[in-house]
Structure 1
Amino acid sequence: MSVKTSTLALVLMAGAASADCGPDAGACKIPGGTYHIVLPDGVTGPIPAILLLHGYGGEGLGTIRNKPMVNLMLGHGYAVIAPDGQPRSDGEGQTWDFHPDRPATRDETAFLTSAADDATTRFGLQRDRMLLAGFSIGGSMTSYVACAKPEAFAAYAPVAGSFWRPHPKACAGPVRLFHTHGKADRTVPLEGREIMPGFVQGNVFEAMGIWREANGCPSPDPNGTRSLGIYTIEDWTRCTPRASLSFALHDGGHSIPKGWAQMAIDWFEALP
């Protein structure tokens, strides 16, 4: 089955309209890369959007094919944008130039910003109502964009991915961020781990401290802790005005856990 046929079949199953990005009706091409998009059916006016960044070895089309998650987002009236990373050197899928101390072949922050801008122009999206989210390495990429250019998107929701060492000394400014992680994650452990010499995953708890500092939070202690299904969520809301920081933990491993999409949308829509 061709990419065109599979993409159109997915759209029909999802009950959504796919934007035609060219003669192949496949990925939308912009300088530096490509992205995939699915639009909610019957929504008029500027459409909010969620950009989803795939993990290591994934691809944008694979993200779009996660029908339960994508359908939920479409059902809430969001366009779903799935940018493509860059080909891995071994040819097995794609990845992101996320690590600030590693040579980069693409400015990922600029690419993701361009993808959002291009989709806004082509499909009538609401540029100031876009949530950037990502899983695993995509979560790390989401975190680095939020740190370097917090104004690039309305809010950020990394899942099972955070900073690597050396951690950023500081971030550019206040951010609205919802981090989700599994206590039993052994692929990206909360405390971090060394992948190879000089390539070390960071500590998520330390990362939360960096976010608190960026948001001007007066205390390391959250001002609220709540339970939601499988999650225990800590909230820091008494920080810099309009900043927001939440940390959701669950007992599972390295995955996008059940209920995450609904939880992230509810958080995003409750922001001022």
Structure 2
Amino acid sequence: MKVLASIVLALTAAGPAAACTRDEPACGVPMGDYRVALPDVEGPIPAVIFLHGAGGTGRGTLGMTGTVKAITDRGYAVIAPDGLPWRSDRSGGIWSFRMDVVRETPRDEAAFFDEVVADAAQRHDVDPDNVILAGFSAGAFMVTSLACDAPESFAAYAPVSGGFWRPHPDSCDGPVRLFQTHGWTDGTVPLEGRPLGNGRYLQGDILEGLSLFRDANGCARPDASGKRTTGDFLRRYWTCDDGTALEFALFPGGHGVPAGWADMMLDWFEGLPES
């Protein structure tokens, strides 16, 4: 993580480790709050940061008990940050992935996530070099945006039910290791995208977004290198430049985090070659 060492030193004086669980006060860093669910393993602990959807909270993320348990049972921590307050007429938080859409006063989310990882490393013995950034819906928009702009920030990225907004970026920095998951019948974030705000904003096209990551990963061809299935998931993957990974999993449901996603994603992550 960028500037991680200096952040760790700055946070070392934060006092004794706090539990920061779903039912206890959140852990605070200068730019915001987060909660954590820890596995029963010795550290350093790998982790999945999971970003909630629009109007959600970190506490709500840890209420996704099936997904959280699947991750902690594999020996990973689940770190659940809070987005900043959204609008006066909406509770919960949102992420600053599009300045003209989400907030009048955006937050530097990459810097916030750096603070969260550094604090979790100091308080909870999380391994800062072994963190996956994942998220759902608006959280997935944030994950996709950061994967494009700063792919070196995390070990891998795993957006669920979200991608880019239009206009799509011209290019991504790359290379990246990314596992994208989406529902075939998703009507909130359709595969093709949709207009919002009386046409002022446009969600992007999921497949078009994947083409940006193929370019960043040096893929010679647009067609998948291979296909496989995991239960109901239909998966396509691209084998491109060394150190890169790109996979797309389609499931038959709508807008949600599907059962089986956590184990499938972690199997993918653990099967990647060391970068």
TM-score (norm 2): 0.88
Unaligned runs of 5+ in 2: 1-16
Percent identity reads 50
Q: The residue matched to 2:209 in structure 1 has which SS?
A: helix
Q: The residue matched to 2:140 in structure 1 has which SS?
A: helix
Which one has more relative contact order, counting CA pairs under 8 Å at least 6 apart?
Answer: 2
Say whether the 8 Å CA contact 2:26–2:33 is kept in structure 1: yes
Tell me: CA distance 1:190–1:30, structure 2 relative to 1, closer, same or farther (3 Å): same
Partner of 1:32: 31
Say whether the 8 Å CA contact 1:143–1:158 is kept in structure 2: yes
The residue type paired with residue 32 of structure 2 is: G
Say whether the 8 Å CA contact 1:98–1:141 is kept in structure 2: yes
Shift of 1:107: 0.8
The residue type paired with residue 191 of structure 1 is: E
How many angstroms apart in 1 are the aligned matches of 2:99 and 2:255? 23
How many angstroms apart in 2 are the aligned matches of 1:117 and 1:270? 26
Q: What is the correspondence of 1:205-220 to structure 2 with a 5 Å cutoff?
A: 205-220=207-222
Match among 86, 89, 103 for residue 88 of structure 1? 86
Shift of 1:233: 0.3
The residue type paired with residue 62 of structure 2 is: I
Shift of 1:257: 0.9
Shift of 1:266: 0.6
CA deviation vs aligned residue, 1:132-161 (integer Å, no higher than 9, x gap):
100000001000111111111100000000
CA deviation vs aligned residue, 1:158-217 (integer Å, no higher than 9, x gap):
000000001011111200000000111010000000012321100001001001001011
Unaligned runs of 5+ in 1: 1-17
Q: Does 1:228 align with 2:230?
A: yes
How many angstroms apart in 2 are the aligned matches of 1:185 and 1:38? 29
Q: What is the correspondence of 1:120-269 to structure 2 with a 5 Å cutoff?
A: 120-196=121-197, 197-237=199-239, 239-269=240-270
Shift of 1:21: 5.3
Say whether the 8 Å CA contact 2:99–2:106 is kept in structure 1: no
Say whether the 8 Å CA contact 1:57–1:93 is kept in structure 2: yes
The residue type paired with residue 66 of structure 1 is: M
How many angstroms apart in 1 are the aligned matches of 2:100 and 2:226? 35
Q: The residue matched to 1:88 in structure 2 has which SS?
A: strand
Say whether the 8 Å CA contact 1:131–1:155 is kept in structure 2: yes
How many angstroms apart in 2 are the aligned matches of 1:162 and 1:155? 15
Say whether the 8 Å CA contact 2:121–2:127 is kept in structure 1: yes
Partner of 2:76: 78
Say whether the 8 Å CA contact 1:51–1:133 is kept in structure 2: yes
CA deviation vs aligned residue, 1:214-235 (integer Å, no higher than 9, x gap):
1011100111011111111000
Q: The residue matched to 1:146 in structure 2 has which SS?
A: helix
The residue type paired with residue 62 of structure 1 is: G
Partner of 2:60: 62
How many angstroms apart in 1 are the aligned matches of 2:99 and 2:156? 21
Partner of 1:107: 108
Shift of 1:38: 1.5
How many angstroms apart in 2 are the aligned matches of 1:71 and 1:212? 32
Q: How many matched pairs? A: 252
Moved over 6 A (4+): none
The residue type paired with residue 108 of structure 1 is: E
TM-score (norm 1): 0.89
Tell me: CA distance 1:172–1:59, structure 2 relative to 1, closer, same or farther (3 Å): same
Q: The residue matched to 1:92 in structure 2 has which SS?
A: strand
Partner of 2:6: none
